Amino acid sequence: MSTCIFCQIIEGTIPSAKIYEDEHVYAFMDIMPVTKGHVLLIPKKHIENIYDFSEEQAARLFAAAPKIANVLKAEFNPAGMNLLNNNGAPAGQSVFHFHLHFVPRYDETDGFQPTWETKQSKYTPERIQELAAVLRAKLQN
């Protein structure tokens, strides 16, 4: 038996409120929903985080995302929706089997607060261009 809680959910040894599955992915209600309709989408294969995906595995997972977002939108009529994925404990990952959160948003008091400082950037436009150049060289050469 797997030691990973989400692998156990896929295996059926731990119960879950499943909403969708296909050959490659599984979607279910979060056990501690932040808002009404908080869903998790996971790959059936144990993949710890975003760094470990092949392009094909990522494509299969994200292919299911619009379907899930649209059914949440149609059923619960949220005002908006946040998709969120945490990688690594410092980023807030607590279950080390990749999962994409779908958090339907109703208003500013619905319990979810994705905030970051936008008033004053620590980075000049020149510094941003420098950082982009480093990344571009890695990605496009």
CA distance 43 to 26: 6
Looking at 28, 53, 98, 102, which residue binds ligand 5GP (CB under 6 A)?
28
Task: Find the part of the chain contacting ligand 5GP (CB under 6 A) among 29-37, 47-55, 119-127, 133-141.
Answer: 29-37
CA distance 97 to 94: 9
24 flagged as catalytic: no
Across the beta sheet with 80-84, the strand order is 18-21, 25-29, 39-43, 100-105, 80-84
Looking at 24, 36, 45, 46, which residue binds Zn ion (CB under 5 A)?
46
| Interaction site with ligand 5GP (CB under 6 A) | 5, 14, 16, 28-32, 86, 92-95
Residues marked as catalytic: 99
